[in-house]
Structure 1
Amino acid sequence: MNNLLIGYARCSTDKQDLQIQRETLTSLGVAADRIYCDHGLTGTKRDRPGLTQALAAVRGGDTLVVAKLDRLARSVPDARWIAEQLTERGVRLQIGASVYDPTDPMGKMFFNILATFAEFEADLIRLRTREGMKRAKAQGKLRGKQPKLSSMQYKELRRMYDSGDYAISDLAEMFRVSRATIYRSLERTPVSR
């Protein structure tokens, strides 16, 4: 039974909703029981069970349908890997209303261009996020991770370490932090006099 439409939808966080993507896929002719989803998984993670199921469901002559390319792949290598999977099986890819065959030279070129733009868009989102965090930090709204030890504890830790009477593991147990925290704290705290 060839020429099936298999849908795939994905959202990056648990707070996002897949309903709009599902509705889009249904409006494009995908049966509701043929829509595979990943919820709360970023596109940069290759291990996406819904995508794995969708790729397993498509056969030669079928069409994999996604609402937008960034829901399928978020990087050029990932998009190429998916394109190779589709090409090997003779499966077409439909993004929104546009359908193309990855075995066709124009289709391959189009897929690579779209994948490049998807990666560019993901990079822009990361850049905007970093800028937003920087702005929030400047306004005092984002303070970052709080230190595990107070300034007094840092000084006491340094004094105890410099005395030579305590091993790192002893200090970690006394201050109830990891050994790595002790090492980092000692790097940041000047040698006591």
Structure 2
Amino acid sequence: MRKPFEAAGPAPGLPAGTPASLPASLHAPLEDAAAGAGIPDIAYTTVSTPIGDLLLAATGRGLLRVAFPGEDHDAVLHRLAERAGPRILRSPRRLEEAARQLDEYFTGRRRHFDLPLDRSLSAGFRLTVLEHLSGIGFGRTESYAEVARRVGHARAVRAVGSACATNPLPVVVPCHRVLRTDGSLGGYLGGLAAKTALLELEAAA
């Protein structure tokens, strides 16, 4: 499977005629040139994890999006271009810290993410819910109903579920820690196998 945008030509923000896949020695100067020129709006990379390859995308404000293997990464990037800005560059260096912290999390060496987040893809009640989720500690869980009560809208259980299902920053903003009242998993954008794996990782730590 090709990496996002690569087979279609140069990453947005690079000069026309630039090969899509470049040696690191050539790609790094292009990253620097793009940054110096005030581009890109969005930097992205992919990282390998025990639950598959995750797409990471960030703006100058912070981490904007984490996408699961089952999502179409090309489609995710195109939607981000429409929402956050059309200039996109594959830039692993700009996402090194996020990649490092994710590696530490998956290898049992990190329990809390300390990353700047760009929450501009969420608003209103959904943003309120996602901000609350960041406070659910490692290895802990809450029910959808409990989250609704804690954010001051006890009847909004389904809306809490919708906020979790559309969380643009899964794993980092831990919607996997939200379960049904009976303790069953509920849904998960990354699939129930991924949700189970994350909960088991935290339970074993």
TM-score range, shorter chain: under 0.3
Taking structure 2 as the reference length, what is the TM-score of the superposition? 0.23
- The structure whose residues are more often helix, as a share, is 1
TM-score (norm: length of structure 1): 0.24
RCO comparison, higher one (Cα < 8 Å, 6+): 2
